Structure 1
């Protein structure tokens, strides 16, 4: 058996655009197949750190390019990195063994701005600092190489989606919809033998971001728990139609969005309940519109990300999509750990020089690997 087929114990770390905290998960994988899953956890950000991340996002949006000279953003990056370190230590305690069991960490950092039209995407967090804190080698900066090869830099989770689906294949044509701050979809088609024959991925539109911002501005809490507020409001079709008039929805994939490409101001003047109902329905309409970019209609939609916890959103998706709509837990997946697992998977792929992105998922010229390795003195304990 070649070294490339060896299984590694990898930690994946993800801080999503919802800015609610760090998801961390352990995955045992050779970068092509998943042997088994280890412990996972979510560590919510403190109110202070979440506020600082929001300010960093706002600051980055007003800068003309990525820079290492902004002292405030650098400070937030260090604080985010240290918070991720704490998540790794918590995972180690759950593992019930020393850190020598862990071979590699996949570190996404936190996206403060994403501008593929300018040829850059910016995730803050210091992979070298994380490696130094934990004593474990780290793969970070997994998007830049894709952009250097003509890609959008996102989404890069689809390869993990396809690997998971192949392990537990119930349908041939499948859509996996991730509703985070921004929503993205992976459409896949398998042949009779279970081999992947086609894959398409792109951002469908805003996910939880607008609704979270609306709720935070009006209630002080960045969540519509179970969609209860939206369920009692009336959606305003003229606002939804105005939002859907954005040329983004007609653009052919691959395509991606920044969290701030849409904002809640379109619902300004509405009641709390009507604003929540309108913004929730906008998410649904953008997902419905995404179907026009699929090569064929999926047999089933599997929903992951925080949006799957929103009962009202899930009910409306089931009403408007012409296929079965289920949370990813129906496949036995860990919905809250899924993106963290993906970055563990991608870290191992990066070590082995395997592609992290494909032309039909990001628009890159060819399948490309990526990531920057920050080594420690620890050797990979390959199994």
Structure 2
């Protein structure tokens, strides 16, 4: 087909809300060009945020009900966006919202029932991008590196600061990537204790002081010692990180300050392992790119030999929705959209399940 108009939909572990991006793709001599035409971000209300946050604890029956109801809600939001913006769409590519991610047990689940999403929106839907890779022995994550490779290959590193921090890069001609650890998830967890959705520009964190013993405890977490490829999610945060935070009696600003330093140290440690020249460039996207204290701290940890590129606000906020739209296009063309070199699977795959509207 060569040209596509795709609605990409993304909900991340930070529980900020639903990101939707109408993306245009065209292919010339095996090179993909893209544009983000229209975007919409919908913050979750308290009910949805609570339901998604606690989905991990639900019974199988209640989890299935949530999957269906969330799929209908996604379909409603997609239909409304398409009608309001008066846009044309070839299909919808939806990441859904991850409720469980345990690849070591061969299991991952993204809420957002594909058939109900398709029926409610009236459009073909491609979703469930992680399951096939996990069945092939992979981590099912991170998935954004296919977009880094095909759309942002001019950068030495592509760093995403969502709920989780992940990075991708090329080694010996192969795209590699990993979930480094945390980014916004612990920061938002803390600010919600004082009725703030997030710490705007890292203003509170900037006023805090370092808690050395907490930073040491975080740096010593077992996850950081695991070999690549590796990925993580909300389960790890709840099990290993939250107890350390709750044990501390420090102020919220001090906790935010310390965790930001910890996050940036871990990012710098991973980046340093793969620097191949003296002057590297790194594209930084995801909600953390809006946090000036996080970015300033990261620059300090990385040093002057690596240049951080902070792109437009649209690309920062909607890059993941863009990449899932691209993954849908590649699935439509039966082309590779997940690299085994990234996830550790037994082979590359063209992943994603296709649902046609029955409405």
TM-score, normalization by structure 2: 0.90
Cα offsets for 1:131-177 (capped at 9, x unmatched): 001111101111111111111000111111122214xx3x5xx1111
1:76-120 deviation line (CA, Å, top 9, x unaligned): 3233223322332343135424xxx31111111110121111111
Offset of residue 377 of structure 1: 6.6
The C-alpha deviation readout for 1:314-334, integer Å capped at 9, x for no partner, is 1100111131123133xx961
1:274 aligns with one of 207, 231, 254: 254
Q: Show the counterpart of 2:208.
A: 233
Q: Which residue of 1 aligns with 2:188?
A: 212
Q: Partner of 2:10 in structure 1?
A: 14
Please give the per-residue CA displacement for 1:194-247, whole angstroms capped at 9, x wherever unaligned.
xx9332100010111111111112x02231111111111111122112111123
Secondary structure, counterpart of 1:328 in structure 2: coil
C-alpha change, 1:328 and 1:264, in structure 2 (3 Å) is farther
Deviation at 1:367, TM superposition (A): 1.2
- Corresponding residue number in structure 2 for 1:134: 121
Q: Which consecutive residues of structure 1, in runs of 5 or more, have no partner in the other structure?
A: 64-68, 190-195, 379-383
Cross-structure match for 2:173: 197
Map of 2:163 onto structure 1: 181
1:327 pairs with 2:310 = yes
What is the match of residue 256 of structure 1? 231
SS at match of 2:159: strand
Q: Does 1:25 align with 2:1?
A: no
| 1:17-96 matches, cutoff 5 A | 17-29=13-25, 33-57=32-56, 59=57, 69-71=60-62, 73-93=63-83, 95-96=85-86
8 Å CA contact 1:214–1:264 kept in 2: the answer is no
**Could you say what the CA RMSD is over the residues aligned between the two structures, in angstroms?**
2.2
Equivalents in 2 of 1:96, 1:133: separation in Å? 17
Deviation at 1:42, TM superposition (A): 0.6
Q: After TM superposition, list the pairs within 5 Å mapping 1:338-349 onto structure 2.
A: 338-349=319-330
Residues 266, 377 of structure 1: CA spacing in aligned structure 2 closer, same or farther, 3 A cutoff? closer
Alignment partner of 2:179: what SS? strand
Are 2:104 and 1:113 equivalent residues in the alignment? no
Pairing partner for 1:350 from 331, 341, 344? 331
Whole-Å separation in 2 of the counterparts to 1:113 and 1:295: 33
1:336 corresponds to which residue? 317
CA distance in 1 between counterparts of 2:34 and 2:175 reads: 23
1:155 is aligned to 142
Pick aligned residue for 2:112 from 113, 116, 125: 125
3-state DSSP of counterpart to 1:338 = helix
**Secondary structure class of the residue paired with 1:336:** helix
Whole-angstrom distance in 2 between the partners of 1:77 and 1:258: 19
Name whichever of 199-208 and 254-263 sits farther off: 254-263
CA contact (8 A) 2:119 2:358 kept: no
Structure 2: 5+ residue stretches without partners = none
Is the contact between residue 79 and residue 122 of structure 2 (CA under 8 Å) also seen in structure 1? no
1:172-195 Cα shifts (integer Å, max 9, x gaps): xx1111111111101137xxxxxx
Between the aligned partners of 1:150 and 1:40, the Cα distance in structure 2 is: 35
Stretches of 4+ aligned residues off by more than 3 angstroms: none
Does the residue aligned with 2:268 lie in a helix, a strand or coil?
A: helix
SS of 1:153 mapped into structure 2: coil
Report what 1:265 is aligned to.
Answer: 243
